[in-house]
Structure 1
Amino acid sequence: MEPFVKTQIDNGIATIAFFHPQGNAMPGIQLARLAADITSAGADADVKVIILKSGGDRAFCAGASFDELLSIANEEDGKAFFLGFANVINAMRKVPKLIMARIQGKAVGGGVGLACAADYTLATTAAAIKLSELTIGIGPFVISPAVERKIGTSAFMHLTMNATEFYDAQWAKDKNLYADTFETVEALDDAVATLAQKLATYNPEAMKLLKQAAWAGTEHWDTLLTERAQMSGSLVLSDFTKNALHNFNPK
């Protein structure tokens, strides 16, 4: 399958789906399209609720494109690379529509950020999570505000410091990242569809105000996540990270 980002609107529900054959690891061009589609759906008067999902039956999202990470040659390119997920997270928090995330498989790095930036997240029991950034000499700085906001600083530090370990879906549910988990993708899809259909019948103004109330105090994130992208963009040029990337991908 070819990479894609696409939106389908049906009965007040906008389903935004993304896919990349490399474990749904997202290159910058797709992240830009994803942020644009989220913003567009949020501005569409016919849309009452948004579902965010990925294609394939394994990984939900393996983070940003490793190929692009390897190509970073200067701080400007580094900042642009890390702004990819920053822009998606900011789009998710700013749209006046509630966003549900459907997590069918493992989420790593930026994928965890997307799951945490959604207003309501449902997953399968196969949807383990990992923050592996420390292993290559950087940190999950761009996504950390969204992750900490969802699961708390202590749980965020557990994930970050145990950078080689996956934490299972039950752990994520216990930490309030997942509202519920399901044994099969079919059961997950039924639950997502059922709640989305209910939300599509509710008062849009009430849901808009609920979203604003829930995200109060994050108005500075445009600046904050840009600063975090700059921080990561500098670290990725360090000798430590260059050596780690070389060892991880010798070619």
Structure 2
Amino acid sequence: MYETLEIEHNGPVATIWMNRPEVFNAFNEQLIADLSDACSVLDADQTVRVVVLAGRGRHFSAGADLNWMKRASAYGEAENLEDSRRFARMLHALSEMSKPTIARVQGAALGGGTGLAAACDMAVASADAVFSTSEVKFGIIPSVISPYVLRAIGPRHALRYFQSAERISADRALLIGLVSEVTPVDALDAGIATLIDALIAGAPQAQKAAKDLIAAVNGRTIDDVVIEETAQRIARQRATDEARDGIVAFLEKRTPAWLL
């Protein structure tokens, strides 16, 4: 049980519902702590194949709770640093989950809300969704969310939006890579369900290995070291029981073990 979250299980899918609709799911110390714990618990749960991050009410997340920010502004340097570290560790825990993660975005995803969406492996947004790295409007910077937003949209777009704090429409977010897909408002859950079906069909160990592969080779020069590393990674994966079963299942036109 969490003070600020609801966890909904539907077969192999777990949905983390941020449940502070009265403040548009803005996060404070408690929501950060709850999200950190929920990510740890669900990542360790072998019955969970896909994790969806969602927000109750009209909006995904309006970012930081202003009352929390007001409290933080009165902290000393050491306390402020530890508070920021807790936020950073939560985003890292979400980003590094060993199973696929999907942000379900409707309405506002502002500031840290944009960071939450970017920290997930993929994001599906309804047509009314709006994003913003709005921190400079408050005299601060999107520091903790920056690794995940940069990973999604690249430095050129970040140079604009980190400084302008402009609102980013769902269609624009799709164009710059912040979201994976945009659906009509009333088709958001159907769009996510289609994506979940595709993810569930994949082998879970292979999906984790694929996430690790991306982290390992992204941004590196394609040299002899990388060539050798990629060869070793596929060789190790082919030797797993999961891969052996998957290949035989395909040839025998039967269901692989992970779907039974």
With the shorter chain as reference, the TM-score category is 0.7 to 0.9
Query: In the alignment, which residue of structure 1 is the partner of 2:209?
Result: 209
Alignment of 1:26-105 (within 5 A): 26-57=27-58, 59-72=59-72, 73-105=75-107
Determine what percentage of the aligned residue pairs are the same residue.
31
Larger RCO (CA within 8 A; separation ≥ 6):
1
- Kept in 1: contact 2:4–2:31 (CA 8 A): yes
Q: CA deviation at 1:23?
A: 1.5
Query: Which ranges in structure 1 are unaligned for 5 or more consecutive residues?
Result: 219-251
Sort the Cα spacing of 1:171 and 1:3 in 2 relative to 1 into closer, same or farther, 3 A.
farther
Q: Which residue is 2:111 aligned to?
A: 109
CA 1:75 to 1:66, structure 2 compared with 1: closer, same or farther past 3 Å? Answer: same
TM-score by length of structure 1 reads 0.80
Matches within 5 A, 1:108-187: 108-163=110-165, 165-184=166-185, 186-187=186-187
Q: Give, as a single letter, the amino acid of the residue that structure 1 aligns with 2:118.
A: C
Q: CA deviation at 1:85?
A: 3.1
Counterpart Cα distance in 1 of 2:123 and 2:76: 36
Flag structure 2 segments of 5+ consecutive residues without an equivalent.
219-260
8 Å contact 1:32–1:87 — kept in the other structure?
no
Cα distance in structure 2, aligned partners of 1:215 and 1:92: 15
Task: Give the distance between the partners of 2:143 and 2:217, measured in 1 at CA.
Answer: 18
Q: Cα deviation per residue 1:83-142 (whole Å; 9 max; x = unaligned)?
A: 343122111222211101110111111111111111111001111111121122210011
- Aligned length in residues: 214
Say whether the 8 Å CA contact 1:6–1:16 is kept in structure 2.
Answer: yes
Deviates more, 1:195-204 or 1:27-36: 195-204
CA distance in 2, matches of 1:41, 1:208: 14
CA RMSD of aligned residues (A): 1.8
Structure 1 residue 217 displacement after superposition: 7.0
SS for the counterpart of 1:16 is strand
- Listed one character per residue, the Cα deviations across residues 51-101 of structure 1 (whole Å, up to 9, x for unaligned) are 1111112x2111122101111221123223323431221112222111011
Secondary structure of 1:207 counterpart:
helix
